[in-house]
Amino acid sequence: MPDNSDNVCAECGKPANLKCSACKLVAYCGKDHQKNHWKTHKTLCKPFEVAQDLEIGKCLVATRDLKPGDIIMSEFPLVYGPRPHMVEEGPVPCPGCCRLIIGECSARCEGCDFPVCNPDCPGLKDMDKHGHECMILGLRDVRAINGLHDFYRQDALLALRCLLLQNKHPKKYARLMEMEAHLERRGENTDLYKDVENRIVNYLHDNFFALGCKSSKENRVKKFSRIFPRKLYIESAESST
């Protein structure tokens, strides 16, 4: 059977929902057929290996010849959220779905008061999107009518979601922290480190973490500097990175 069918078993051709955990390109109707098909699939599965290069750091190296159009990998994002860039004016992303909205004219989240596209936006209750962070953002008991871009900082949400992976999805968080960090260019005393501290850490700490979190601010600065601008899977309303 060919390996290019999305929802049929590669071994018997019957409907299948079990995907190969490594490449997620091949489906099986059960563990037995997945095991039987491995001899055929192993030469096509995950056509790369992770290597460490002295010049460019961690990278992918092909383990076989690849043709134009070959799928190298297919996987879900580790974290979903607005791009970590501060918006000083104009449209901002809805924290539930990343759809661009005009904050001053938009509805507000009933839990944290952040501007949203619609109070019924499914992402607002999704614990992998806005639902979890909303409980932290809701700790602040003040609301804003003017100056929304500075008060409701969507650029800080992705960082918060990364940290929340520690307890909710520890395996995803471990994968995130295994990515190349380039600390020699992003560590203490660098411009990036100072930018992360001033723009992200101070905002979250002063408005939310100081109200309900015990870990130190210094530890958060170091964690954020490792994460940003690490090569995350960041999806916005218009594009993916």
Rama region for 13: left / alpha / beta (φ>0; ψ in -120 to 50; rest): left
CA distance 76 to 84: 19
Q: Is the pLDDT of residue 220 over 60?
A: no
Q: Tell me whether residue 6 is in a domain.
A: no
- pLDDT reported for residue 214: 47
Q: Which domain covers residue 38, as residue numbers? A: 18-62
Whether residue 97 sits in one domain with residue 187: yes
**Which band of pLDDT confidence, cut at 50, 70 and 90, is reported for residue 15?**
very high
- pLDDT reported for residue 119: 95
- pLDDT reported for residue 180: 73
Q: Is the pLDDT of residue 2 over 50?
A: no
Whether residue 49 sits in one domain with residue 100: no
Q: Tell me whether residue 2 is in a domain.
A: no
Q: Tell me whether residue 80 is in a domain.
A: no
Residue type at position 134: C
CA distance 18 to 25: 10
Token pair 């449209």 in the structure block, residue: 91
Q: Is the pLDDT of residue 9 over 60?
A: yes
Query: Which pLDDT tens digit goes with each residue over 16-75?
Result: 989 888 777 889 999 999 999 998 888 778 788 888 888 888 888 888 788 888 878 777
Whether residue 54 sits in one domain with residue 112: no
Which residues are CB-neighbours of 69 under 8 A, at least 6 positions away?
none
State the average pLDDT for the chain.
81
Query: Which pLDDT tens digit goes with each residue over 67-125?
Result: 888 878 777 888 888 988 888 889 999 999 999 999 999 999 999 999 999 999 999 99
Decide which of 130 and 200 is more confident.
Answer: 130
Whether residue 211 sits in one domain with residue 101: yes
